[in-house]
Structure 1
Amino acid sequence: MTTAEANWLEDLSAETPDGRARGSALQAFLSTEQSPTSLVSYQSRGEVLVIGPGDQALPFVEELDDGVPATVLVTDGQPAGGKPRGARMVCGKVSQLAGYLGHYAAAISGAGDKQLDVAELAGLPRPHFDLVVDFSEQPLLGFQTPPFGYYPVARGAHWRTRALEELPDMGGEFEKPKFFNYDPDICAHGNSGLSGCTRCLDGCTTGAIQSLGDQVEVDPYLCQGVGVCVSSCPTGAMTYAYPSLRDLLRGVRRMLQQYREQGGGKPVLLFHDREAGSALLKDALPGLPEHVLPVAVEEVGSLGADAWLATLAYGAAQVCLLGHQDTPPRVVKAMREELGHARAILGGMGYPRQAVEWLQPAGPEALLVALRAPLNSPQIRPAGFETFDEKRSTLRLALEHLLAEAPDTPPPAVALREGAPFGQVLVDAEACTLCMACPQVCPTRALLDNPEAPQLRFVEDQCVQCGLCEQACPEDAITLEPRYLYAESERRQPRILNEEEPFCCESCGTPFGTRSVIERMLENLEGHRMFQDEAQRRRLRMCGDCRVKDMFKAEYQAGGEQ
């Protein structure tokens, strides 16, 4: 935690038992150790590429400090005034721009389809630029969160001002944490060429995540820790590395425990971004209700339902997630979708709708109004479980505790919206042939075969509704039903979705398929020229070994007769 966050304690009021308990609680949170993570290093020589029409790009270059090495790429023809003072100049239409701080590559269109490297045309000793100021009407890098060292001026005049202020100091070595960890073994993105979950790709605001077919790849240089890939990942394949979920929730648990021990009432945890969220919150601190505990995280979009629900289970009366006016739309969309699923599950147990809230106020006053709203939440016995950076386990522990403390008896299950990471698989037994294509692609082993019999089983607790089974089914016999089943014993108990009498080899009696599959095969091959005599059709009713033996036997007998 930063010194600035620790200094906030002096600005928070402490006139009531809640306020005094809050001070002790925040101290407990701030003293929680964080596990280290690796660093991502950027090397920059401060070489700037300014792109845009001449009437905008050239005056900007003239305003730069003399010590900033710059190349201007004029996109609307040769300027009348010639080359700007102390800068290189290239003219042309941009055909490509990609990269990150210290490694931006740009190209313009040449004759035919030829791509001309801008750094080479400008005579740079290296094939890339370190920084880019983009005056294009539509930013050439359209990510909702621009990469480090890229200034899209079309998004607001403040980007131009910011570039002029920052560029003189943008040479040297820069480091940031490696924010993510990825476990491809439990990723539900794809299998056997089929496409499943795309939540991380849909939510990423930086363009850092790319599909590799059955898996994804994250570029650590483009990743800025926005975290939607983590909060929306249904399996926990993508986890946040700094801070880890385990470290964060350990601090939250200590904080809430300290708050209770010091006489605090019903605490509200306000999670906010460390930078933009802190700036919004700073002006509201003196008037912040004394039962509200502000908690800074790198990015509030990295917190998913596992963190929210565990915080409620640890004894928080409410969890508030603080967005701001510059929160990327993809983050807002992902948060609202996750919020809808969590609220449905909590509502089924009798918890109030506002137990988890997304706040995106216009300013400090609007934030204080939202935080002063009356809250009708039950007082529950706080949980004591530990988490181990395993998303599904954390969700399971939190929900089981909240269910045990629930104000109401829930129905057997609650329906959820499409996209929820919980639900069941429904199988049309008439259409299903028990080919077992679905268990082969299931990334979580929610679908299981039975080595002893033709039987398809399902464990609902493991299902993340990724849809791979639905795509793999050749008979279109599978549909998904998003829901949350409250009874743990039913969720975790394998149940049979379809089973059938095995078809046994007519020669040796070994079961090798299902009766419906063999009968359908015989029916489909009824008129096939290769299966017109009874011996050929009989082989279809044999296992593989007996079929081969019968073929050799027939050839041997035919040879003997000749």
Structure 2
Amino acid sequence: MGTNSDTEQGARDAQSAASAPSTLRVALGAPRKVLFLRDFCTRPQGSSCMKCIEACPKGAIAIANASAAVDAHACTKCGICVGACDGFAIPGASIEAVFSQMRKIALMGEKVILTCSYLLPSSFTPADNVIVLPCLAMLPPELWTCALALGIDLAVAVIFEECEACKRTNSQGLERFSRAIEQAEDATECTVAFTGDVPEAQVALTLMQTLGDASGKDRREALLDLKDQAEDIASGAYRMKRNESLRAFHEQRDHMLADERIGGAVGTPEQNAYAEGGMTRCTLSPRQRMLLEAADVSDAVAVRKRVMLSATDASLCDNSLACAKSCPTGARRPSPTDGQLVFEARLCIGCGLCTNACPQGAASLREAYAGELLPQPDDE
């Protein structure tokens, strides 16, 4: 059995764990570098896309050998490129990780507050419902759209004058995250709140109140209660216990991500005798997955969010499969059964590579709405 000293130390350790910033928060607030992810870049397939170069406020991105490269010396690690293209990510803090953290905070019944690390003093410890980003512009419109579609209570803590004067982003961050939020609000008919306040961690106060309320208990019993509550707060269990209905709602949303209707079997190469190299691979990018989920849960997104979608003129198509060879996601691919062209709308990112590749001019792009990306009744 532990001594009183052991119990006191356990309470202090639990309190420290509860108040310390999470790994995600540290990675987001002060990223060491920005990575390029070749699998989500369309340039290796022949695209002339320049989104990353146009987005970078410091000219730190260059194209070499049909691929992007980041100049570590010029890069300010603002993360704007992450918001512009799935081909970039902050190690340990992808947009999927950010969105997962947002879900967890909402599950606890808290408002999700997003802010920039450069607005907070180094001595400030934000509350657990605060996500600290290197720049708000690292979040793409699809993430904001999905969060609003799921009913997550959002607030952005920002000082507009500071954003306008930001030297790390050459003042581009404000314009970019404002535009992303506007697109999400238009698609969902919901709004993101703005605030000038960031709540500070209050764990120590809560624990001291617990100790002070321990009437009728000896010191050791009070410290054990203190340790238990500190562990509850650190794990989020304290708030979660009071939000069972919200937990059930978000679990249902999480399960839907694994459902064939949205996720499906993507990412794993499959044998296909009709495909170049004998293999096909389907890729569903993080922001495409978020857009699909938003369209599936929100009628507003399904009929309001505009996307570019590939189309085929059957009268011109001779099934040469040139379009399938150029498709970076596997949205266009030969059927493993008979080699006939298969098109899967949910994987289409509207890059237009198929239109350039088709020798018959049978492939084109058309404007559509996000609901058309979902499997239609005839497809199921």
Cα deviation, residue 395, structure 1 = 5.4
In the alignment, what sits opposite 2:117? 274
Q: Distance in 1 between matches of 2:140 and 2:40?
A: 18
Q: Does residue 184 in structure 1 map to residue 35 in structure 2?
A: no
TM-aligned CA distance change 1:434 to 1:197, over 3 Å: same
Q: Among 291, 301, 321, which residue is 2:137 paired with?
A: 301
Retained in 2: the 8 A contact 1:271–1:296?
A: yes
Distance 1:430 1:186, change over 3 A: same
CA contact (8 A) 1:178 1:242 kept: no
User: Is contact 1:304-1:338 (8 Å) kept?
Assistant: yes
Q: Secondary structure at the match of 2:364?
A: strand
From 221, 232, 241, the equivalent of 2:91 is: 241
Q: Which structure has more strand as a fraction of its residues?
A: 1
Q: Following superposition, which runs of at least 4 residues in structure 1 exceed 6 angstroms of deviation?
A: 491-495
Number of aligned residue pairs: give it.
278
1:442 partner amino acid: C
Once the two structures are superposed, what CA deviation does each residue of 1:187-217 show, in whole Å capped at 9, x if it has no partner? Answer: 11242xx334321111011211111252211
Give the 3 Å change call, closer, same or farther, for CA 395–186 of structure 1 in structure 2: closer
- The aligned residue for residue 23 of structure 1 is none
C-alpha distance in 1, partners of 2:363/2:372?
24
Offset of 1:184 from its aligned partner?
1.0
Query: Are residues 1:426 and 2:311 paired?
Result: yes
Residue in structure 2 matched with residue 325 of structure 1 by the alignment: 164
Counterpart of 2:102? 252
Structure 1 position 452, deviation (Å):
5.2
Q: 2:83 touches 2:140 (CA, 8 Å); kept in 1?
A: yes
The question of 1:214 aligning with 2:66 is answered yes
Aligned to 2:362: 477
Give yes or no for contact 1:315–1:383 (8 Å, CA) kept in 2.
Answer: no
Residue 439 of structure 1 aligns with an amino acid whose one-letter code is A
User: Distance in 1 between the 2:288 and 2:176 partners?
Assistant: 18
Shift of 1:393: 4.5
Partner of 2:22: 32
Larger of the two Rg values belongs to structure: 1
Letter in 2 for 1:490: P
Aligned-pair distance for 1:310? 5.3
Label 1:312 to 1:255 Cα distance change in 2 as closer, same or farther (>3 A).
same
8 Å Cα contact 1:423-1:465 kept in structure 2: yes
Alpha-carbon separation, structure 1, partners of 2:49 and 2:143: 21
1: distance between equivalents of 2:107 and 2:327?
40
The sequence identity of aligned pairs, in percent, is 20
Quick check: 1:396 aligned with 2:289? yes
Of Structure 1 and Structure 2, which has the larger fraction of its residues in helix? 2
The amino acid across from 1:187 in the alignment is C
d(CA) in 2 for partners of 1:318 and 1:36? 21
Give unmatched runs, 5+ long, in structure 1. 1-26, 38-175, 286-292, 369-378, 417-421, 496-562
Q: Which residue of 1 aligns with 2:184?
A: 342
Q: Distance in 1 between matches of 2:284 and 2:334?
A: 26
Question: Normalising by the residue count of structure 1, what TM-score does the alignment of the two structures yield?
Answer: 0.41
Q: Which residue of 1 aligns with 2:237?
A: none
Match of 2:250 in 1: 383
Does the aligned pair in 2 maintain the 1:256–1:314 contact within 8 Å?
no
Equivalent residue runs for 1:57-68 within 5 Å: none
Partners of 1:220 and 1:459 in 2: how far apart? 38
Give the Cα–Cα distance (whole angstroms) in 2 for the partners of residues 488 and 195 of structure 1. 22
